[in-house]
Structure 1
């Protein structure tokens, strides 16, 4: 045994420690070598014999030469300097656990079960239980794993590289759930970096940042009925009313974060009463900075520990499903923070990010941009998405900041970006990544929704990849949101000059499959709450805005607080206030009414489900439209956008008969009237209405 080899083991500078440690064949027989710096003595225990091992280096290197001719199973018994004794299977007696196919698929960016294999994962090999540690660090000279199981001694468990894949691996028997660990990476220039696990299933709470061995994969689900139904659902023709929320601040008992168990008990019944079909959680992925709301992620496969364990999160989603509520997760693959212990310069090189800051640095957020053209990086992001869809049964992913991914010149001045190979501004690699991701989700997880927050006029966001689109199911309609809020913020006296702000979006309402968002971004940073934006009679204006959102073509999304007429804008450091009971009841009535009438959801993505009645009366600021569905009576929606009551206001109707009010923003006595043959608004029939100021009514035939 050469001293140089011993030194390389102890210095943790080997790419293949298994070539020295473990069991080896020699001319004299079988030799076993081990390194344990905490041990004074070591003993090898086989089935038929046990023998003390010789310490040939005082730093803890032991060897045993036997006359055995064949490899045999064995354990190691160590005695520490304090007299403590422990036994273990030798980590260096096991063959590689990842197969050639795993490595090939990973290198090709095509491994669809990578989330179950990479990182620290509970593992079993030939009856021996432990944890398999794997990490991608192709430019490292050496990698080791350190943690609570080895006294945080980086020398104790050096890993081996698996050829050209750049993957390092070590199976350590006895490492179990709850053990904390990091990877120690020796870079090409000899620098030592301590890194958290990119694929960690659980992480320490901030400000700590190590990874934790966890096993969300063994959770016992009981949502089979929901999952089976989801496979067959057509979200385009079903009700979809989304309650967007920030879990840590939805309720803060005694000023602290709630637990997932708290939210099971408080949030789920609340959402059920309000009538929302889905919740959308701002990013639950682990992140170091509370002020980022979860959008600057360091643990892309780990639920934040602020609210509990991964198993707790499984339980929360399981209860949502058993209560008939879907769960959508915000997911930010557009960038990641620069923290030195996380993905940045992971193996001493720009591994996950582009090396050129013109492609790899995001100036708006002081973050780094993924290298979408690198197969292993794409596969990492696929693994992140599949972790939430497979392991946690999420029903949808809303991809954040898609526009920043699509354009190379996003938020950059001339000279600050690099054109693509065709000389254009499109990020070809990111586009390819999004198409491939959406293809895999569609084939592997039928019934899951992919939703894009995309703020430009990029064409085909919700068109299938095979027809040239990006392949999302829905896109946030940011144009509708901006125009509509500008209109409702304005004093009603000026609205007669602004009708185009709420009618223009009908020109493109079916160019994509849209969700109409009133999201968290509109109630922060001094913008005020929805209620605070409203002029004059604020609650009536807010009810009118919400009616317009619910009745206009598209699915609905409302951020927490809007449903209770919250006075102040959202503050992630404070619990959501109780707010208005009347507004909560109003939202419940909106969800119930639209959910019970196909006209408001079954044709959201079909222009045949909508027809203008009139938007030409600018002076009165009254607009009206029909919502339609096959074999269903038309629904006539009428909005009075000023506080002036309009008496005997005549509205055209598409057919003769009795028309009755079936929904009103102002509860009142039942009203019905037979149409008359006075032609108005290109219809032969019409009805005369008394319209309350800042009110909305919906009529249908009876």
Structure 2
């Protein structure tokens, strides 16, 4: 047995913060850290295991023997075991062997705070330093607050790195290869942000990254932590914000993971009604335990500090908020007030969002939250959860249901396409057409569209045109921008060969132009979350299946008029009411021939008549293309 040094990186203040749930930089203390002690270089290890009677570091440096390097338990009842092992350095593989006080249980666990993990299916942690990367995104970071402002454009490209594109040999691309291919593609397509489905280490490919075992380590599937930093850096140098999916809602029960960590329910709630997720067959964090709260908030801030991430999209928030989420009567227990809200999870989310706001200027958080829980995007100081945005799941379901209908029947379902405006300004909404909508037999977005081939692609352009002119911000899953025909398959690349065919190539050109138009049109984003930024012209023309509305920014001269025709019938003369005199000019048309459309357009300026229409004092007679969205702007 080798005696382990009693060297420690913890102060009494650190321990007090940890025990109270207020230590938000635990990654600087727990885990493995390469240090020099008394002139000797080695690695300091620290792990939280309060139910252990013995903890040892096992690794490739001691033949995975639990007898060589036992750690020392701290005297302060923190449950932290620590020690310095000389001559152990970067690249060393290790785990913790934990002898529990409970029934003689022995576990071998990966380090919850490891900065790098072995390539799955291997499960060891790797001693690794991450502070040696030289960032080159200083310019981006200096103006990120403006780019990320809630009055700025958000056109988000959601990506699963493993299946966006494969190499010629059908191998996954590395972080470095993605920097060469994905970054220029996102820039060329004029997206403002990219959202990466979870890149924290995960053992099981079919989980898509949503079952995490290495919360502080970018997955080794694509390369090293520094190579992931390089990918983020390249996005920033090309003026593209990076959103990471973050999963504080549940974690898998793999033997090397967080579950039953020290022979006790350490990270998961001990009551199965609160600690086990039936839908995902996974464990739920114990949000009532202070040390677990410190772990989670530290993890969120870690990605913002060490990897310069710009936004965190928080997965499955609804499952955290409600004790009865996906549970039958008798499978859950009410809170102390006899109600269904998980009070500990609510307070954790508030504390997390407040910590992000307090520590990172210009960073926002986004909630995947599908219920009517009040105040998701209201500030914490005003008793909200404090998120910057929330996914508008109701809009997504209603819109896809509407577009799946044959146009002949749409006149009977016009409320489906207009209902979202009844609550559009109750939260700061992001409109998502995400990965969840193109799997499990739901079909691709293009595959949902009715009609012949021309009509399907026209419907697709109309859908995106309507989406980008609806109040809120926008998220599109990879492949949607060129009309991926098949459902998403996480094991395969997107069908890039489709771009050899005109309809898909034209759709990609449309999306590129739509993104640029969106970014260049302040009326579409400056008041995206305010009722002041939207005005109906007509929402009840069920017979023609036409919607018309005005989007407004800070300057009324930028007001933008949007007209959508949800049928394949060309309407050569259609009257719309407008609030002020002047002229309007067509500035965008989804039916353009270069997008594969019929080419019907309004080629001349249109002078408004002083004739009342739609309860407005002025009116214009316009033409509306089939299955198209046409957009006008006032001109002087």
TM-score of the superposition, structure 2-length normalised? 0.95
- In 1, Cα distance between the equivalents of 2:62 and 2:148? 51
- In 2, Cα distance between the equivalents of 1:112 and 1:354? 21
**Which digits, 9 at most, give the CA deviation of each residue in 1:203-231, with x for residues without a partner?**
11111111011112221111111112124
Please show how residues 260-279 of structure 1 align to structure 2 within 5 Å: 260-279=175-194
Is the 2:388–2:428 Cα contact (8 Å) retained in structure 1? yes
User: Which of 227-236 and 445-454 deviates more?
Assistant: 227-236
In structure 1, what is the equivalent of residue 482 of structure 2?
564
In structure 2, what is the equivalent of residue 685 of structure 1?
618
* CA shift for structure 1 position 233: 5.1
In structure 1, what is the equivalent of residue 523 of structure 2?
599
Alignment RMSD: 1.2
In structure 1, what is the equivalent of residue 501 of structure 2?
none
* CA shift for structure 1 position 282: 0.5
Q: Alignment partner of 1:141: what SS?
A: strand
Counterpart among 152, 166, 169 of residue 82 in structure 2? 169
* CA shift for structure 1 position 186: 0.3
Is the 1:327–1:396 Cα contact (8 Å) retained in structure 2? yes
- In 2, Cα distance between the equivalents of 1:357 and 1:371? 11
- Unmatched 5+ residue regions in structure 2? 499-503, 593-598
- In 2, Cα distance between the equivalents of 1:519 and 1:232? 26
Is the 1:216–1:314 Cα contact (8 Å) retained in structure 2? no
Report runs of 4+ in structure 1 exceeding 6 Å deviation: none
Q: Alignment partner of 1:388: what SS?
A: helix
Is the 1:115–1:386 Cα contact (8 Å) retained in structure 2? no
Counterpart among 509, 525, 541 of residue 617 in structure 1? 541
Counterpart among 24, 28, 46 of residue 116 in structure 1? 28
User: Which of 632-641 and 468-477 deviates more?
Assistant: 632-641
* CA shift for structure 1 position 597: 1.3
- In 2, Cα distance between the equivalents of 1:357 and 1:111? 27
- Unmatched 5+ residue regions in structure 1? 1-34, 37-89
- In 1, Cα distance between the equivalents of 2:273 and 2:552? 49
**Which digits, 9 at most, give the CA deviation of each residue in 1:27-54, with x for residues without a partner?**
xxxxxxxx35xxxxxxxxxxxxxxxxxx
In structure 1, what is the equivalent of residue 271 of structure 2?
356
In structure 2, what is the equivalent of residue 69 of structure 1?
none
In structure 1, what is the equivalent of residue 458 of structure 2?
540
- In 2, Cα distance between the equivalents of 1:534 and 1:550? 18
Is the 2:522–2:558 Cα contact (8 Å) retained in structure 1? no
- In 2, Cα distance between the equivalents of 1:274 and 1:643? 28
* CA shift for structure 1 position 679: 1.5
- In 1, Cα distance between the equivalents of 2:253 and 2:184? 39
In structure 2, what is the equivalent of residue 386 of structure 1?
301
Please show how residues 300-449 of structure 1 align to structure 2 within 5 Å: 300-449=215-364
TM-score of the superposition, structure 1-length normalised? 0.86
In structure 2, what is the equivalent of residue 549 of structure 1?
467
In structure 2, what is the equivalent of residue 41 of structure 1?
none
Could you say if the C-alpha distance between residues 243 and 180 of structure 1 is closer, same or farther in structure 2, counting changes exceeding 3 Å? same
Q: Confirm whether residue 645 of structure 1 aligns to residue 570 of structure 2.
A: yes
Q: Confirm whether residue 203 of structure 1 aligns to residue 133 of structure 2.
A: no
- In 2, Cα distance between the equivalents of 1:375 and 1:217? 28
* CA shift for structure 1 position 359: 0.9
Please show how residues 28-43 of structure 1 align to structure 2 within 5 Å: 35-36=1-2
Is the 2:527–2:554 Cα contact (8 Å) retained in structure 1? no
* CA shift for structure 1 position 682: 1.1
Counterpart among 133, 141, 147 of residue 53 in structure 2? 141
Q: Alignment partner of 2:561: what SS?
A: strand
- In 2, Cα distance between the equivalents of 1:311 and 1:439? 29
* CA shift for structure 1 position 598: 0.7
Higher RCO, Cα 8 Å, sep 6+: 2
Could you say if the C-alpha distance between residues 281 and 159 of structure 1 is closer, same or farther in structure 2, counting changes exceeding 3 Å? same
Q: Confirm whether residue 226 of structure 1 aligns to residue 140 of structure 2.
A: yes
Q: Alignment partner of 2:466: what SS?
A: helix
